[in-house]
Structure formats: C-alpha cells, structure tokens
A and B are shown apart, each in its own frame.
Chain A
Amino acid sequence: MLDYTVRRLGVGVLTVIAVTVVLFGIMQLMPGDAIRLIADPDRIPPERIEELRRQWGLDRPAHVQYFYWLGNLLQGELGHSIVTGQEVGVLIASRLPFTLLLAVTSMALHYAIAVPLGLVAAVRSGSKLDHGIIVTTTIFWSIPGFWLGILLMLLLSVHLRWFPISGYQGLSSMVVPVMTLTLPPLGGTVRLTRAEVLDTIRASFVLTAHAKGLGRLSVHLRHVLRNALIPVTVMFFLGLPWVVGGAVIIENIFAWPGMGRLLWMSITNQDLPVVQGIMIMIAVLTVVCNVIGDVVSGLLDPRIRIALEEAGGR
C-alpha cells in the first residue's frame, strides 16, 4: 500500500508537470508577449523593446523558456503581478485561505446533509419520503449556483438585511456564499449514496450475509454501508477541487476576497503571471485530492488495490 501511495504521488507530480506544460503552451498562444503588455510601443523605441526581450530571455526557443520558467516555479518563484508589482506567491497566499474557508465549510456541510438523505431515500426506496427527497434535490441541482447566489442575496441580504451583501465582514458574510455553494450539488451526492446503497442491498453477498444468520443491523452496517460508501467517500475527495472551481464563480457575485475574485480580476487585466500562478495552485490542489481519493479507494476496496498494484507493479 505504501508502495502504491508513493507511485500515485509520482503520477501526481507528473500530472502537475503536464498541467504546467499545458498552461505554458496556452500562454505561448497569446498574441505578442509579456513585453507588449507592459511596454507601450508608441513611447518606447523598438531597440529598447528588443533589448528587454533579450534581457528577459523572450528571444530564446519556447522549450528553453519553459524550463527556465519551470525552474523558477520549483523555487517558489511565481513572478510578479504586472498590475500591482506584488509577488504572485504572496498575492495568492493572502487570498487562498478565504477560498479554502468557503470551500471546506460547504463541502463538510454538503456531506453532512447529503449522505443521511441518500441513506434514508434508499432504505425507504419507493416511498413518498424517497420521492420527496429526490424531487427536492433534483430541483436544487437544476439551479445554477451563481443564480441561486443572486436570489439568496436578493432575499437574505437586500430584502431581509440579515447578512452583509458583499465582501468579507466577519463570519456572517460567509452564510450566503456557503449556502450558495452547498445547496445546488446536494442532488448528486444524495443520488450517488442512494444508488450505491440500493445496488448493494440487491447484491448477492447481502443475501449470503442474511443467510448465515447475521442480524439486520449487522448486515446493513458491515455489508451494505461498508460497500456502498466506498464510492461516496472517494467522491468527497474528488469533489473538493470542483467546489473550489465553483467558488471561483461565486466569489465574484459576493466580492469575496478569495482566489476566484483575484483570478477574474487578473483575467480582465490580462495579468498573466497571476493567472498562471492561480491555475497551478488549483492544479496542485486537485492532484493532491485525486491522489488522496485513489489511495482511499484502494484502502477501502481490495479489488481496486490489487488491480492497481498489479497494473503498476512491473
């Protein structure tokens, strides 16, 4: 298992490197280069621009530039914002906690609500309660997060004035954004939990467990839940980056001082070093979550563990 984890981490590092290649490639596609963004060609003589280009290594071939850039990256050198001149690392570090606060809180709340609902729906499968849960969460699922954010803001902040409209003014500012991130994706997890439990209840090994004389509770805990919650647990880790992705949009509605707000402003200002830095940050976060998800699925399901160990063992 340790061997496997190390290998998964290796794949994770490769993935991040692939992401940097993709990002660097995308940035190479930009018309012009960094000089164009900061130097007004009307006021600075072309010789001076050429000189700057040489100085910054922009006249070198793309792959040389990439390794130079990657080298800086590995030293934690993400460059400076074109707009404010601040170090990108510092800029991100000041925003990241706000985004994580939002994402992790919503994620925890999301699972605390969704898994019990999914279980109840499965156990009472076919009942009115089951239908009620499914219909309600389907409706939530169909509501785009950013629009739900607008509605909640309109209702709770503009009309009722219960919470601040935007920005960060203490914990009360979190309520509406967290609700906005938590509610729409409930349906997916409720459904997944319900489907897995129903699938497992119908599995032959559950009949076997009954047939050998286990009590109902033991069968449900040791054979149904134990098996059904494997995919749900894995989905928790795989889903975290998606919540961060959602936060990127939501933060802009509430002027939440997180990474998403910073990203959007940087895109609008064409502040490339900051955009790159945030992308790499999110990629690392995603890869770490994926590795954790894979390792956890291996820990929980011996079939996966053995298949993976065999596939990667040579």
Chain B
Amino acid sequence: MSLSATPELLRVEELTVVYETGRGTVRAVNDVSLQVDRGEVLALVGESGCGKSTVALAIMRLVPPPGKIAGGKVGLEGQDLLRLPEAALVGIRGKRIAMIFQNPLVSLNPVYRAGSQVKEAIALDQAARLDAWRKAVDIMGQVRIPDAAERALSYPHELSGGMRQRVMTGMMISRSPDLLIADEPTTALDVTIQAQVLELLLDLRRRNRMSLLIITHNLGVVAEIADRVAVMYAGNIVEQAGVFDLYERPLHPYSRLLLRALPRLAKGEGRLETIPGNVPNLVDTIAGCAFHPRCPQRLPVCAVTVPKARPAGPARQVACHLLEATSP
C-alpha cells in the first residue's frame, strides 16, 4: 500500500542512455521519467530488451560500456546522482540504493564463500571482523536461508538457485538501503520459490520501511507486489498508473495488449509474444510513436510525432495520441 503522505525518495527525470555500437547509436533508454516514494513499490514492466534493466543500472550509475548516460537526472531526495563524482557514489551504492541482479549465479563471485560476500558489504559499515561474520549469518537467516551458519561457508555454485537469490538479497539489504532495485528477481526460480521470494521482499520492505523498484516482464508478479506500475516500450515509458487503475482500465494500447496477454500466461501458453509484431530494433529510428508499427489503433499522426506523456487522472500518465485526441 502506498501512503500518499510519504515524501518522494527517487525522482528520475528525462533519463537517456545510449549505446555506441559499430552499427550506430542505440537509444536504449529515451527520456524516461519516474518516481518512487518512500515505502512504495514501483514495478517497471516491459518485454525483454525494452531497456528496463538499463534504467536500473543507470540509477546505480553502473551502465557498462559501451553504454553511456547521455542526459537527464537521477534525484535521490533532491541530490542528482548523475552529477556526483565517482568517489562519492561509494556512499550511495549499497547504503542508499542497492540492487539485486538478474542471474544470481553469475552475479556472485565464484571464488568467495556466500557468507564472506555478505560480510564484505556489512564490513563497510562496521570494523569488527568477527562481528561482521556473525551479522552476515544473521542476515542470511533473516532472508530465510535454512542452516545459515553452514550455508555461509558454501560457495555460490554449491547453492540452489533460490538460495543464491537469497544470498544476493541478504547482501543487498544488509546495509538497510532506502531503495532496493530488484531486476527480474523471480525469473530464474520455479513458481513456489518465486512466491517465497516475493513475500520475502514485501516483508523486508515492511520491516525496513524500504522502497522497492521491481523490474519484471511478469505481470503476475506485478499484481502481487506493486503499488504503482510503469509500462516501458522500446526505451520509453508509455504509461504510469496505480496497479488497480492499470489492471482495471489500461489506457495505452500497448498496456491493453500486455494485459490481454496475461490470462494466456496464467494458462501457461507463453508470455507476451502473443502481441502481434516484434519489439523494434532500437538502432532503427522510428519516426513518431515507437509503438505505432504494432499498434492496432494507430492514427496518421502516430507515424509523425512522438506523443508526450500527459496526466490522465490522479497519479497517472499516458503517452499516446489517442488520449490527446479524445481529451481537450
């Protein structure tokens, strides 16, 4: 539940990330603006390759080369992270904003024991080494790793996918960040473990009064966990709305198609591939709205002008010419 009175924690404004490749410049993230309030859970959804992971990396200022943040602001309680010197980011990462990465097997260092990787984070705030280990084991218990003291001595490849995910989660919440970004936290896991991980994240959020930014392509996950949703398509956010508003009455044609694909998902008939057409290659510069080649309701103007994000009700924004045409 979002509490409307809580202050805003993170405000991303007109964030643009480009990749310089041999074949030209790819705008992986294009003028993206979003915000996360304290204690709020925002879900960023979209198909693979739409740029949602890049948004997360950009917030952390960890976009790997050849990617580059080309413009915009990442405001954390008014402080623009993009303007901070590299050295100052050390105080932000892990401490204020932490991030759980997609594939916990490759995201944990194979040569260190699980516990010492958690300890490494704790030791940043705390000098006593022995104590840090005990606290690491404690945190691993908190993220519901059974026999934490023993598992702390295991190497990542000796643990199951769910356990690795929990080690990663433990490591990232150990410094009590204000915002936890979770990039596809459930994708690599089977369904029962998925539910446990989501429950764990919500529980941690409640106890630590943490905000969550969940990045996923799975609308089932969104429904279970999110307060608000931002729908992303080809580097652009096309709609932002409260989770009930969006599920009840999606305004952007892309959101509608995404949600229509959802029941089939529940029946196990595949994911979002049921939307006709393909995700555009981001190197191609599409004139007008990026979605218009796949849009069932496109207007002539869609192929010419890029629609601007406009308010469409309380705490709701949509970037679509259809709405401009119907509203004054």
Contact = CB atoms under 8 A, between A and B. Distances in A.
Interface stretch (A211-219, A246-254, A276-284): A211-219
Interface of B: 57, 60, 62, 64, 86-87, 90-95, 98-99, 101-103, 106-111, 120-121, 124, 155, 157-158, 168, 171-172, 175
A212 B111 contact: no
A303 B64 contact: no
Contact of B99 (A211, A223, A301, A306): A211
B191 to A, nearest CB: 24
A207 B158 contact: no
Contacts, number: 85
A301 B110 contact: yes
Contacts of A203: 106
Nearest to B63: A207
Given A205-B107, A208-B168, A214-B124, 11 more contacts: A203-B106, A207-B62, A208-B171, A210-B93, A211-B62, A212-B98, A213-B91, A213-B93, A216-B87, A226-B111, A303-B155
A64 to B, nearest CB: 50
A300 interface: yes
Contact of B110 (A207, A215, A303): A303
A209 interface: yes
A208 B107 CA distance: 6
A215 B91 CA distance: 9
The DSSP consensus for interface residues of chain A is: helix
A173 to B, nearest CB: 43
Contacts of A157: none
A212 B60 contact: no
B199 to A, nearest CB: 23
Contacts of A303: 110-111, 155, 157
Given A203-B106, A205-B108, A212 B175 contact: yes
19 contacts: A202-B64, A204-B102, A204-B103, A204-B106, A205-B108, A207-B64, A207-B107, A211-B60, A211-B93, A212-B93, A212-B175, A213-B121, A213-B175, A215-B87, A216-B86, A223-B109, A301-B110, A302-B110, A302-B155
